[in-house]
């Protein structure tokens, strides 16, 4: 799986907030446009924010299409590795128990990564598209640099930690 795909997956749970924030900042800049910067520069900044918001909306819709092509167990593995939303893991996927060894788990994650890569390509979310569409925005660039420098754990360490529900494991222990 490519780094840009990992970034899109790690940022997906925050996508709604990012979209709202970009819209709110664009509105605030438009309202407070009478400042020390020129009108032209102010408009450029507002258009950049609107472009960022539109790009995120597009990515969000495309990722929903990608996720709909996954099976329930694959969505669980995706949720567990990239999103770690406790409410989803304990709600929607509470009944899933991974009756497998650690080695099998990593094999399944590798298969999921290959399938996601193919789905990203099918939807046109290529590395060139990413560089053209989202690569110019500082937030995305910084996240990509952080991933490349510090690795995936720089994103996963701050999220809620939970273990895989294993068949036969005691709940709440």
> What pTM was computed for the model?
0.75
Among residues 47, 8, 14, the alpha carbon closest in space to that of 30 is found at 47
Residue at 163 is within a domain:
no
Residue at 171 is within a domain:
no
Task: List the single range of 45-49, 62-66, 89-93, 157-161 with lowest mean pLDDT.
Answer: 157-161
Q: What total number of domains does the chain contain? A: 1
Residue at 168 is within a domain:
no
Q: How far is CA 59 from CA 99, 129, 134, in A?
A: 33, 11, 10
CA distance 5 to 78: 12
Average pLDDT score, the chain: 82
Task: List the single range of 24-38, 77-91, 97-111 with lowest mean pLDDT.
Answer: 77-91
Three-class SS state of 31: helix
Three-class SS state of 151: coil
Q: Which domain holds residue 38?
A: 3-156
Q: How far apart are the first and last CA of the chain?
A: 34
């Amino acid at each position: 799986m490519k780094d840009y795909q990992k970034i899109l997956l790690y940022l997906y749970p925050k996508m709604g907030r990012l979209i709202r924030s970009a819209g709110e900042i664009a509105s605030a800049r438009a309202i407070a446009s009478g400042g020390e910067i020129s009108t032209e520069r102010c408009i450029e900044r507002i258009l950049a924010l609107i472009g960022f918001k539109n790009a995120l909306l597009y990515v969000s819709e495309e990722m929903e299409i990608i996720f709909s092509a996954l099976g329930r167990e694959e969505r669980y593995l995706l949720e567990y590795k990239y999103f770690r939303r406790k409410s989803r893991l304990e709600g929607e996927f509470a009944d899933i128990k991974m009756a497998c060894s650690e080695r099998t788990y990593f094999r399944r994650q590798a298969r999921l990564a290959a399938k996601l890569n193919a789905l990203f390509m099918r939807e046109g979310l290529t590395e060139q598209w990413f560089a053209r569409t989202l690569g110019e925005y500082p937030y995305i660039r910084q996240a990509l640099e952080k991933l490349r420098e510090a690795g995936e754990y720089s994103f996963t360490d701050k999220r809620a930690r939970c273990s895989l529900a294993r068949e036969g494991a005691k709940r709440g222990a």
